[in-house]
Amino acid sequence: MIKKKIILAIGDWNKKIYDQNKKNFKNYLLISDRNKLNISLNKYQIEEIFIIHWHYKIPKRIILKYKCISFHMTKLPYGRGGSPLQNLIIRNHKETYLSVFKTSFNFDSGDIFIQKKMSLKGSALQILTRCSKMCFRIIKRFEQNKLISKPQKGKIVNFKRISKKSSQINFNKNIKSIYDNIRMLDAPIYSKANLKIKNKIIEFKDSKLINDKIYAKIVIKNEF
């Protein structure tokens, strides 16, 4: 049976990074679909599974059978849970840490291998791309070095996944908060920040904050 390693990652930006670096990831499979994951687990001898950006809980049977390594955009144990990017921006963080850790049965609670600082500047897509590039570089480090993990230390702070209401812009907030609301959702996998007027939705993207003014592109469409 052929030996392979798996990278679990949704999003076109991850495929783009993977394609640009294929020569360095010849023995890796990039998977963005649960069915393809199950097929690959049966087809190949899997050595490691790296979870960069995945919308599904990893089953216990997989964690028990394979070496699974996860990536999370907070300095764990701070920020365990869903929507880390949005929760960080809402809390006015300008930078964060990418945590690399053993995948565990409980979300984001595994022993830490690496924590590396990263910026939260720009749109959600820019931040996600920046984060994924770091992830791919770190994956190669696991080939070159035997990395040692240590238990998480510090106060546990749990994040809740943001609701659909977060995409509706609250114009009672200040300009900076409105700008953050737009940019934190400006990636293909999220519902864009929007304003509803009668039966129309105005979506905002590609925003810039200049001299306390927001410049952005808009898309107007029917609600239904």
- β-bridge pairing 45-53 and 67-72: parallel
Predicted local distance difference test score (pLDDT) of residue 153:
96
CB of 207 closer than 8 Å to CB of 126: no
Instruction: Give pTM, 2 decimals.
Output: 0.94
pLDDT at position 223, please?
Answer: 85
Q: φ, ψ for residue 182 (rounded to 5)?
A: -70, -50
Report CA torsion sign: 192, 198, 200, 204.
Answer: negative
CATH class, domain 3-159, is alpha beta
Domain layout of the chain by residue ranges: 3-159, 164-222
The DSSP bridge pattern shows strands 112-119 and 67-72 to be unpaired
The predicted model gives 7-23 an average pLDDT of: 95
145 pLDDT above the threshold of 80: no
pLDDT at 90: 96
CA angle 51, 186, 28 (to 5 degrees): 25
pLDDT at 133 over 80: yes
Rounded to the nearest integer, the mean pLDDT of the chain is: 95
Instruction: Check residue 39 and give its pLDDT.
Output: 94
Burial of 193 (0-12, 13-18, 19+ CB in 10 A): buried
Same fold, 3-159 and 164-222: no
Taking the CB of residue 68, how many other CB atoms lie within 10 A of it? Answer: 21
The model's confidence at residue 167, banded by pLDDT at 50, 70 and 90, is: very high
What does the pLDDT read at residue 75? 98
Question: 189 and 11 in contact (C-beta within 8 Å)?
Answer: yes
Long-range interactions of 202-206: CB distance < 8 A, separation 24+: 204/169, 205/123, 206/123
CATH topology of domain 164-222: Methionyl-tRNA Fmet Formyltransferase; Chain A, domain 2 (3.10.25)
pLDDT of residue 1: 81
| Tens digit of each residue's pLDDT (9 = 90 or more) over 42-101 | 999 999 999 999 988 899 999 999 999 999 999 999 999 999 999 999 999 999 999 999
Tokens representing 96 are 């964060």
**Do residues 41 and 61 touch, judged by C-beta distance below 8 A?**
no
